[in-house]
A and B are shown apart, each in its own frame.
Chain A
Amino acid sequence: MATKKRNIPLVMLSILLSWGMASFSPVFPQGQEDRVKEPLLRLLPLESDLKGWKLDGEPQTAEGIGLFELINGGAEEYLKEGFKRALLATYRNHEGKLINLDIFEMLSPESAWSIYGKKAGDKGTKVSVGEEAAIGDYYLNFRKGAFQVTLSGYDSQKETLEWLLHLSRLVAQRISTFP
């Protein structure tokens, strides 16, 4: 679980590192966007493994403080814990159901552990995905290495929860082979 007392210099260092990264890319020129996007795109499951679920629009990416452009005030906790880059995607099935997949690469496994603790806490039901995972009424959080991943649906139906689990395991497998 997340540490209750953060080491203040480490917190400051995390913020500065995230800020420093952003100073290179406050708004992505094409080359920089590709540099962030391409590696993270490799973590997305293949549609052939998803039986009718397809990407709904282009995935969105952010690096450093650019995360604010993507998730507004939600970025603060990630930057505080040491954020590197993120990819946010949405999948849609033939019935129009949506599942959001948000992949956050943190600066270190410790950062991922810390943000996971904040997102999942000790709530939800523990499930076997990555190094630690918990599923709630309509969402699932897991962490693996320097990654913290959140998947969320829009209802609590059994089928939705099963897809959250399936998708998360596919992503976790791909993280295993991430360079």
Chain B
Amino acid sequence: MDRITRRSFLKKAACLGGGALLSQTSLSSLAQNNPQGPPAQEMKPDLVAVKGKNPYASTLRAIQELGGIEAFVRRGDKVGLLVNSPFKNIGASVNPDIVLAVISKCLDGGAREIRYLKDPHRGYWERSPKSGELANMLKSLKYESGGHVKVEIPDGRALKDARVTKDLWECDVFINISITKHHQGVHYSGALKNMMGLCPFSTNSYFHLGTLKLGWYADVEHLSQCIADLNLIKKPDLCISDATTFITENGPWGPGKLGGAETIVASTNRVSLDAFCCRFLGLQPEDVLMVRKASQHGLGEMNLDRIKIQSLTV
């Protein structure tokens, strides 16, 4: 990929529209007002962070700033959503409003089918005040079919194969929706870790016990490597992370002390997304082993100075 640094981007922006373009607001309004539709490729940020009190609206805006849903979903596509939503405790699962916003945009984009790749906990949708008005939309959702297939991972260093939900291979578009939160084992859970949701216990238990070191989090190096290796199987087309309200302890399940940043983060790159989001928990990208290992696999840029970041408030 042709990398554009923040500095070079700012230079280009300044050339295109003078100092006014340095304003985030100006940049986003330019993207929205582009008469040709989505912003031109060179104008698209690598990562968008939208701060606001309404997660639904912030999610819509984040997608818009990445080029609109048409940049990801074509008419007739089957969309697979991997959402971190198995936990009922507040701050441990993605706010359902965020998922509803994504589903709504996918349907607007002409998606033929939207399938949940990992079922949410019971009562999940009821947590959203919008679930009533969007009930018909929810009825059209499909859930896990239950089957898994073995996938070889030739470039995996610790994980050479994995059993993965077969639904993943039947979707045209793969969207990874994670929540930024604490995790007892790897300290931070986000997009990379969310991929474990695709696997049954038989695969995930190897992540924890594969080296036969005693204890579930006894070998974080192995666990982190397995997570990075698992991410080799398929690149998400779009990654969104919920950094609105999240547990800062007792992860992944909670309950625990809550943090809040009122922010939705979106990117096409999961490594960059996690590198950005781990800072909400007071971590630096290099502190999170799975981020480093995924970066070493060439899955994305963890140096935030080397990507184009757009932050805005709605």
Contact = CB atoms under 8 A, between A and B. Distances in A.
Contact of B216 (A72, A76, A138): A76
B152 to A, nearest CB: 25
Contacts of B90: 138, 152, 154
B257 A72 contact: no
A108 interface: no
A77 interface: yes
A44 interface: no
B122 interface: yes
B86 A119 contact: no
B214 A12 contact: yes
Nearest to A79: B216
Q: Name the residue in B122, B127, B250 with the highest tally of chain A Cβ atoms < 10 Å from its Cβ.
A: B250
Interface in B235-273: 249-250, 252-258
Interface string A48-84: 0000000011001000010010011110110110000
B123 interface: yes
A60 B123 CA distance: 13
Interface string A1-44: 00000101001100100000000000000000000000000000
Interface string B176-216: 00000001110000000000110001001000100000111
Contacts of A80: 215-217
Interface residues of A, number: 32
Nearest to A156: B258
Contact of B258 (A11, A72, A123, A137): A137
A150 interface: yes
Given A11-B214, A57-B123, A152-B89, A76 B255 contact: no
Contacts of B183: 73
A111 interface: no
A25 to B, nearest CB: 14
B87 A74 contact: yes
A65 B201 contact: yes
Interface string A92-106: 000000101000000
Given A72-B87, A72-B252, A74-B253, A98 B184 contact: no
A123 B183 CA distance: 18
B255 A136 contact: yes
A61 B29 CA distance: 51
A137 B255 CA distance: 10
B12 interface: no
A136 B254 CA distance: 12
B88 interface: yes
Nearest to A9: B214
Nearest to B193: A73
A113 interface: no
Contacts of A60: 122
A136 B250 CA distance: 13
B255 A152 contact: yes
Interface of B: 86-90, 92, 122-123, 127, 183-185, 196-197, 201, 204, 208, 214-217, 249-250, 252-258
- Ranked nearest first, the 3 interchain pairs of A and B with the lowest CB-CB distance are A74-B253, A139-B255, A76-B216
Given A65-B201, A74-B92, A77-B216, 11 more contacts: A8-B215, A71-B86, A72-B87, A73-B204, A74-B252, A76-B208, A118-B250, A121-B249, A136-B257, A139-B255, A154-B127
Interface of A: 6, 8, 11-12, 15, 56-57, 60, 65, 68, 71-74, 76-77, 79-80, 90, 98, 100, 118-119, 121, 123, 136-139, 150, 152, 154
22 contacts: A8-B214, A8-B215, A15-B216, A65-B201, A71-B86, A71-B253, A73-B252, A73-B253, A76-B208, A77-B184, A79-B216, A80-B215, A80-B217, A90-B123, A100-B89, A118-B250, A123-B249, A137-B258, A138-B90, A152-B90, A152-B255, A154-B127
